[in-house]
């Protein structure tokens, strides 16, 4: 009998939440089979079994949060006949019935609030209905991202009826959003917000009805780390104005010369590349302050902030200083798509040495970003605006963009931050140096 414990799926993971069991009690498990979907501090991902045998017991039900190393299941050796109720003493003694989860051969389902609910059945294990899979199909599980499963549950949709547009036919959030739920599943409008934390109809406050929501694991991590960063890292800010005229022309030329199917770099890809080149020249900007020491990193891995569902996720472009613009563009698009469909993995969210956060597409001209823990700085990028500018005593149109560098003053000082930022501007204003 082998015990399965809560795995460490990222370098910063301390605990995990069981989302969905992909195998049920009595199922045969091979090495490499996806056993359970777990929500970590960085992403939701499927854990692959490193043990072969029969899943004999599920110890952690869906919705439960446990620290790393806690037992979550047991796998027995199928060759020895280990399974539910097996053992020298045979079935459970009379008067000591097994729990409902073992009777049904499946773990308790979870309610919309995430609390475990036991099956309402008293049928013994020998008379239980055949396992039909969590998605209603006979023994076959529908491939879908965790985010898609949640959306489908909220809309009352059967995943088995949907067509997946993700890799390998995987159902993603977009597929669920495009589908319409059954008309019978639409509840009558309520005059009161749902949720355990909703205020009663009477006794309201000046704010009106109050609905309290529990943040998910990712949102809790973001809140904790941002608070820690602002509390421990002495932030200071440097803002610079960059003439993006030549960068606009360069991108137009790249687009015109591209073939069908070629990836055309965005302005943000150009900014990532410029930062990567500058980071190689300014090692302290590519470092961090930790435990009273400077950490200088040998690899230049630029994180790119991506707006996900009710969260901000920062996937990493690894070795950005060694990649051309097209490769950076391809990498960024691929990992951003994974963030949005919920398939991004913790390794793709780890290892960043610097971060670029761009809100220009939302019309924001300038903002101050919070430094990611373990990094020396983050660059906040605004929109490119066509504005009048003075050149050689003449007022001419110019494509200007503001960028603000948030620095951790414990490692990156004012002059060093200014020199780094000036180098980024130089590279963007003469983009010929940013090789494809």
Specify whether the CB–CB gap between 36 and 46 falls below 8 A.
Answer: yes
Contacts of 257 (CB under 8 A, 6+ apart): none
The residues that are catalytic are 409
Q: Which residue has the tokens 């101050």?
A: 368
Helices in 296-368 by DSSP H: which ranges? Answer: 325-341
Number of H helices, E strands in the chain: 8, 20
For residue 434, report the phi and psi dihedrals to the nearest 5 degrees.
-90, 90
CA separation for the pair 435, 204 (Å, rounded):
61
For residue 67, report the phi and psi dihedrals to the nearest 5 degrees.
-70, 160
Long-range contacts formed by 222-227: CB under 8 A, 24+ apart = 222/311, 222/312, 225/372, 225/373, 226/370
Strand arrangement of the beta sheet that strand 2-5 belongs to: 2-5, 71-76, 53-58, 28-29
Structure-block tokens of residue 273: 């590349």
Structure-block tokens of residue 328: 């950076």
């Amino acid at each position: 009998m082998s015990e399965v414990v809560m795995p460490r799926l990222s370098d910063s993971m301390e605990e995990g939440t069981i989302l969905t069991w992909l195998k049920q009690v009595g199922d045969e498990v091979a090495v490499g089979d996806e056993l359970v979907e777990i929500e970590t501090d960085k992403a939701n991902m499927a854990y692959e079994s490193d043990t072969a045998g029969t899943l004999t017991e599920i110890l952690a039900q869906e919705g439960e949060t446990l620290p790393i190393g806690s037992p979550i299941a047991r796998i027995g050796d199928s060759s020895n006949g280990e399974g539910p109720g097996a053992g020298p003493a045979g079935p459970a003694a009379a008067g000591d019935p097994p729990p409902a989860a073992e009777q049904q051969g499946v773990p308790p389902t979870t309610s919309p609030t995430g609390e475990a609910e036991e099956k309402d059945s008293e049928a013994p294990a020998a008379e239980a209905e055949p396992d039909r899979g969590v998605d209603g199909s006979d023994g076959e599980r529908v491939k879908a991202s965790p985010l898609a499963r949640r959306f489908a549950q909220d809309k009352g949709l059967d995943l088995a009826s949907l067509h997946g547009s993700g890799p390998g036919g995987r159902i993603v959030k977009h597929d669920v959003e495009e589908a319409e739920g059954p008309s019978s599943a639409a509840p009558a409008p309520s005059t009161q917000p749902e949720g355990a934390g909703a205020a009663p109809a009477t006794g309201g406050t000046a704010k009106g009805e109050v609905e309290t929501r529990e943040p998910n694991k990712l949102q809790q991590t973001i809140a904790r780390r941002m608070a820690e960063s602002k509390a421990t890292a002495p932030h200071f800010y440097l803002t610079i104005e960059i003439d993006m005229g030549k960068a606009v022309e360069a991108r137009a030329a790249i687009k015109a010369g591209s073939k069908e199917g070629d990836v055309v770099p965005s302005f943000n890809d150009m900014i990532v590349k410029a930062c990567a080149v500058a980071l190689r020249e300014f090692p302290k900007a590519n470092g961090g302050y930790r435990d009273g020491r400077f950490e200088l990193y040998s690899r230049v891995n630029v994180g790119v902030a991506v707006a996900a569902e009710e969260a901000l996720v920062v996937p990493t472009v690894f070795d950005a200083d060694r990649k051309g613009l097209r490769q950076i563009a391809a990498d960024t698009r691929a990992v951003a798509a994974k963030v949005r469909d919920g398939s991004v993995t913790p390794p793709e969210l780890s290892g960043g040495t610097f971060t670029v956060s761009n809100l220009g597409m939302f019309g924001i001209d300038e903002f101050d970003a919070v430094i990611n823990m373990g990094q020396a700085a983050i660059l906040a990028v605004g929109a490119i605006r066509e504005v009048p500018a003075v050149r050689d005593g003449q007022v001419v149109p110019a494509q200007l963009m503001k960028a603000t560098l948030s620095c951790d003053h414990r490692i990156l000082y004012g002059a060093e931050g200014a020199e780094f930022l000036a180098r980024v501007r130089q590279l963007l204003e003469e983009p010929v140096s940013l090789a494809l």
